[in-house]
Amino acid sequence: MQRAATFILLLAALALPLIMRAFDLDYYTSFASRVMIFALAAGSLNLILGYAGMISFGHAAFVGVGTYTAGVMIIEGVPSALIGWPLAMLIAGLLALAIGAMSLRTRGVYFIMITLAFAQMIYYLTNSMKAYGGDEGLSLPGRSTLPLLDLKDDTSFYYVVLAILCVSMLLLSRLVASRFGRVIVAIRENEPRMEAIGYPTRRYKLVCFVIAGAFGGLAGALLANHGNYINPSILHWTQSGNLMIMVVLGGVGYRYGGLIGALTLLGLEEFIANHKVEWMADLWPKYQQHSLLGVGIILLVIVLYAPRGIAGWFDRSPRG
């Protein structure tokens, strides 16, 4: 059943640009790329948030560092994606290693706050990088390059993003199902016990944090290419909040939580901003300018009344 659903979803994703081309709606191909990039970012956050139970409030730092790494490589004349994107993963992963090694000494609210503090540091550091636009950011001269494919074409870019998302999600779900993943979930459920059994729990959590950071960096590299600019606002703490929203909206600790959350949140924003609903406009002419009000209320209701997120609605089993 689930396998069939995945298959249909994949077919639909493969066909999407062709259908959009046929109806002259190419804009939505680009929009779908954006959704998939955020699905990757939220999916990587879901690994630490959902499976490992570490409430990191600084994930935007890893995404942002990926954005800057890929962007700077393009600006500095090394546009090859085969170099730039793995480098973005590497640097984001190393950053996660440094931040995680220090943050994981604390727990609870202090962990939330210290990850936030580190993310703020990176935010202000990018703000002060005058050579790369400072607080205003910089437009990129072009997208990264790949052999055989032209990433400047939105459709090719879409397929590359789709392929990366599929491979990443496959890797992440294999990881969660592996022995490593079981240990991580067990640490979430009962850390003292796992420690007593003899697992080096902090090292497990750190590895998990680094993997999530690296995939966040990959999402960032794609994001730089998608929008063709680098900008510190992607590292602002509210972006970390947005990524958390996506994860919780979609379903914390569910395989498709990040994807569903990104699709729902971005889709909702897109829908409210660009599609005038007549009866809504009759009630309140300016409602489209205040889409965040709706997003806020929906999020509040979800957190208060449906904490398992959208994926939780389809899941009858007790949470495992």
Partner 1 sequence: MSVVLILEQSLNGLQFGLMLFLLAAGLTLVFGIMDMINLAHGSIYMIGAFLAATLVAATGSFALGVVLAIPATAAIGMLLEVSILRRLYARDHMSQVLATFALILICNEAVRIIWGSDMALGTPAALSGPIELMPGLFYPAYRLLVIGVGLTVAILLYFIVAKTRIGMRVRAGASNREMAAAMGVDIKLLFTLVFGFGAALCAVAGAMLGPIFAVQVGMGDNILILAFVVIVIGGIGSIRGALIGSVLVGFVDTFGRAFLPALLREILPPQIASAAGTALASILIYVLMAAVLFWKPQGLFPARG
Q: Which residues of this protein are in contact with partner 1, per CB under 8 A? A: 49, 55, 57, 102, 105-106, 108-110, 112-114, 116-118, 120-121, 124-125, 127-130, 237-238, 241, 244-245, 248, 252, 286, 290, 292-293, 295-297, 299-300, 303-304, 307
What CA–CA distance (Å, rounded) separates 249 from 256? 11
Shortest distance in whole angstroms from residue 220 CB to partner 1? 20
Shortest distance in whole angstroms from residue 227 CB to partner 1? 22
Our CB check for partner 1 shows the closer of 130 and 316 to be 130
Is residue 80 classed as helix, strand or coil in its secondary structure? strand
Is residue 229 classed as helix, strand or coil in its secondary structure? strand
Q: Any residues with CB less than 8 A from the CB of 292 and at least 6 apart, and which?
A: none
Shortest distance in whole angstroms from residue 275 CB to partner 1? 19
What CA–CA distance (Å, rounded) separates 277 from 290? 14
Q: CB–CB of 158/32 below 8 Å? A: yes
Q: CB–CB of 36/188 below 8 Å? A: no
Shortest distance in whole angstroms from residue 193 CB to partner 1? 19
Our CB check for partner 1 shows the closer of 46 and 144 to be 46
CA distances to 77, 216, 232, 252, 300 from 141, in Å: 10, 23, 18, 38, 40
Our CB check for partner 1 shows the closer of 55 and 175 to be 55
Shortest distance in whole angstroms from residue 217 CB to partner 1? 20
Our CB check for partner 1 shows the closer of 118 and 157 to be 118
Is residue 310 classed as helix, strand or coil in its secondary structure? helix
Our CB check for partner 1 shows the closer of 121 and 166 to be 121
Retrieve residue 54's tokens: 């570490």
What CA–CA distance (Å, rounded) separates 236 from 243? 11
Shortest distance in whole angstroms from residue 105 CB to partner 1? 7
Our CB check for partner 1 shows the closer of 120 and 231 to be 120
